[in-house]
Structure 1
Amino acid sequence: MTALGFLCPGHLAEDDYPRMEQLLGSDIRLDLVRTETGEDASFGVAPRGTGSAERLGSAERPDSAERLAKGVEGLRLSGAETVVRASTSGGFAHGWDGAQEQVRELARLAGMPASSTSFAFVHAARELGVRRVAVGAPYPADVTALFADFLRAGGLEVTGVHSAGPAAGAEAGTWGEEEVLALARAADTPDAQAVLLPDTALHTAAHVSLLEKTLSKPVLTANQVTVWEALRLADRRVNAPTLGALFTREPLVQA
């Protein structure tokens, strides 16, 4: 059994995880711990404020560090082998260096390999061999621009950015297949090799196959790449085509 841990601040499409766990097979367990109880900090605030509100050990949110420590301890007790901070904006709002510092601190605190959703997007794009990506997000334009900057810092070329705006962000958790597909279509550009949908509030686990079939290219979504990143840290690859091109690689040969 491979147990993977996820720390979930703010709003998250958490029911994507049981669906993905079922698709990945009986020897993989996904353990989620919520580390914030307030409303999602990703919307209605300045981007840098978003980062500081979610920052590990933030002096502005002293209770966050305590909840984080409890969450990490819970994952350790559950037998988790890796941990990923399941928040895209909670990473990229710090910039590349700040997000790296955040992950290093999480790894130190957890005593296991760690990462975040922001880095998961970069690593997933590299896994697929794509360099040119388009971005679609139900974020305000300035927040989406920060994500694009983060991707560029990771060596990717951003061919287009589509922001659905703060009003959409408040509703994204209720979106179904039609709305998610419309977002991906609006973001896509002819020269993009993949389309990225960074919001963890989007329910996408059931829609990745349709998204990729419609756009004729890989589509990377927040919860999808978060789980893939945890598997990568555990040196596991799983063939689960329903979750898209990212999960169609051959499994690693176990010794």
Structure 2
Amino acid sequence: MTALGFLYPGYSAEDDYPRMEQLIGSDIRLTVVHTDIGEDAHRVDALLEMGSADRLSAGVEELRLSGAEAVVWACTSASFVYGWKGAHDQVRSLAKSAGLPASSTSFAFLHAAQEMEAAKVAIAATYPEDVAGLFSQFLKAGGVEVLTTRGSGIITAAEVGTWGREEVLALARAGDHPDADAVLLPDTALHTVAHLPELEDVLGKPVLTANQVTAWEALRLAGRRVNAPSMGALFTKEPLVQVTV
């Protein structure tokens, strides 16, 4: 049994995790611990507070007791908002606090893009334009070319969590670029796991979504490889690319 731990901000699309556990199968357990998000707002000051070391460390003991072998901060915006250096510092602090290998959804996107050899990407985000732009800057700092960035102006994770299939497909279509190797849908508040095969079929290319890449990143940290076609092309790619945080 491989136990993987996730610190998830608040309550929005956390039900993607038991769904992924079923789709991945094997002997892998995904344990979610919810963190206190403070103010639910896709605004820089609120996101900086949401991802603070104190808020993250509060959930670490529960994950340790669950037997987790690795931990991922399951949030995109409250990691990349710190910038390239700050996001690294956040992960290092989490790893020290947990005593476990650690990462975040922002780095998961970067590593997943590397895994898929997606040198050029399009971003289809739920966020306001300014926050979406910070994600683009983060990816560029990691060596990924961003062809286009589309924000949707959604302020709260609570609203994002109400989006269903039609909204997710519309978001992906609107954010795609003909020259993009992959389309990235950040925001772990967005339900995407049930729609991964359809998204890739509609767009004709790999689609990387926040909860999907977060689970993949935890598996990577634990040294596990899982073939799960229903989880998208990312979970069928061979061989595993060695990447570093």
TM-score by length of 2: 0.93
* Kept in 1: contact 2:120–2:147 (CA 8 A): yes
Larger relative contact order (C-alpha < 8 A, sep ≥ 6)? 2
SS of aligned partner of 1:196: strand
What amino acid does structure 1 have at the position aligned with 2:30?
L
SS in 1 for 2:205: coil
Does the residue aligned with 1:206 lie in a helix, a strand or coil? helix
Of 99, 103, 107, the residue aligned with 2:95 is 107
- Whether 1:32 and 2:20 are equivalent positions in the alignment is no
Does structure 2 conserve the Cα–Cα contact (< 8 Å) formed by 1:212 and 1:219?
Answer: yes
Identity over aligned residues, as a percent? Answer: 65
Question: Is the alpha carbon distance of 1:123 and 1:38 closer, same or farther for their aligned partners in structure 2, counting shifts above 3 Å?
Answer: same
Gapped runs of 5+ residues in structure 1? 58-64
- Does residue 151 of structure 2 align to residue 155 of structure 1? no
Paired residue for 2:113? Answer: 125
Note if contact 1:35-1:68 (Cα within 8 Å) is conserved in structure 2. yes
| Counterpart residue type for residue 110 of structure 2 | V
Whether the aligned pair in 1 keeps the contact of 2:199 and 2:207 (CA below 8 Å) is yes
Secondary structure, counterpart of 1:166 in structure 2: coil
Counterparts of residues 223-238 of structure 1 (less than 5 Å): 223-238=211-226
Deviation at 1:171, TM superposition (A): 2.5
Q: 1:78 to 1:168 in 2, by over 3 A?
A: closer
| C-alpha distance in 2 between matches for 1:168 and 1:211 | 24
Amino acid aligned to 1:179: E
In 1, are the aligned partners of 2:108 and 2:213 still within 8 Å (CA)? yes
Q: TM (normalized to structure 1)?
A: 0.89
Length, aligned pairs only: 240
Say whether residues 1:217 and 2:205 are aligned partners: yes
Once the 2 structures are TM-superposed, how far is the Cα of residue 241 of structure 1 from its aligned partner? 0.3
RMSD: 1.7
C-alpha distance in structure 2 between counterparts of 1:68 and 1:51, whole Å = 13
Q: 1:99 offset after TM fit, Å?
A: 0.2
1:60 maps to what in 2? none
Letter in 1 for 2:4: L
Whole-Å Cα distance in 1 between the matches of residues 37 and 186 of structure 2? 21
Gap change, CA 1:37 and 1:181, over 3 Å in 2: same
Larger Cα-atom Rg: 1
Deviation (angstroms), 1:225: 0.3
C-alpha contact (below 8 Å) 1:239/1:251 kept by paired residues: no
Q: Tell me the CA shift for residue 54 of structure 1.
A: 2.2
Residues 79-98 of structure 1: matches in 2 within 5 Å?
Answer: 79-98=67-86
Q: 2:59 aligns with which of 54, 71, 83?
A: 71
